[in-house]
Amino acid sequence: MQYFFKQIYTAWCAIVFIGLFLLLFPFYLIIISNNSWHKHCFYLNKIWANVALFLVGIKTQIEGLQYLDSKKQYVYCSNHFSLLDIVCFGFAPNPVVYIGKSSLAKIPLFGYMFKKLHVTVNRSSLKNRYEALQSAIEKMGEERSLVMYPEGGIVSKNIPHMARFKDGAFRAAITKQIPLVPVSLPDNWIILPDEKIPLITRRKMRMIYHKPIPTEGLNMEDVSALKEKIYQVIENELKTRLKNEHR
């Protein structure tokens, strides 16, 4: 019986998320038509995330916003265990550019919106990864922050422990000389697991912004140390939250 109700709930969630996107899509098209308006997709993302999660009964708990300045640029680095991680950054305090896998561009309507406003990457191609990073830095301009999942996709074989990080996010932050912000998402893999036919579990979605880590004065030789520092911040948070769950 529980499995049946999960199926019904998952279907309702799909209807809400897809239906709301279709309602917002004409406004995305307007924003796409002018490059100088692309930063305003931030407001549509915020509406989509807030309204959709409210309608499906998933409460949100956003922590650490006091560390961030909505007028500054950041590179947000998050663990990545679920497609719900993309929705989470509708709660970012400022406009963002995403780097997402190339398969997102194949999703009808959503894919068109995503590749016009954000950046897609073929992670199996070193050349394409480099080009995508340069494109993302360009799209950021002086007004948008960058969202990256430094694991390089949903690749961990031991969720909720992360895979090792790739260099892209840290190179972008050093290139722009802007702070990195570690972000921990401890619940999304339970709410929406990365499975062939996932069933959604209703529970609170927590998003934890950690203190920004500056990159001013750093160069590419500092990438490895910076990568390890960010990794430990997120991993320690995930371990702590998991331990508290089992008390």
With a cut of 70, say whether residue 12 has pLDDT above it. yes
Give pLDDT tens digits for 197-243: 899 999 999 999 999 999 999 999 999 999 999 999 999 999 998 77
Q: Which domains does the chain have, with CATH numbers?
A: 2-245 (3.40.1130)
Q: Which residue has the higher pLDDT, 233 or 247?
A: 233
Q: Which residue has the higher pLDDT, 148 or 125?
A: 148
CA–chain centroid gap for 23, Å, is 22
Name the residue among 10, 91, 16 with its Cα closest to residue 47.
91
3-state SS, residue 99: strand
Give pLDDT tens digits for 167-200: 999 999 999 999 999 999 999 999 999 998 899 9
Does this model's pTM top 0.85? My answer is yes
The pLDDT value given to residue 30? 97
- Band (247; pLDDT cuts 50, 70, 90): low
Residue 77, exposed/middle/buried by CB under 10 A (0-12, 13-18, 19+)?
A: buried
Mean pLDDT computed over every residue of the chain: 94
What's the average model confidence in pLDDT over 72-94?
96
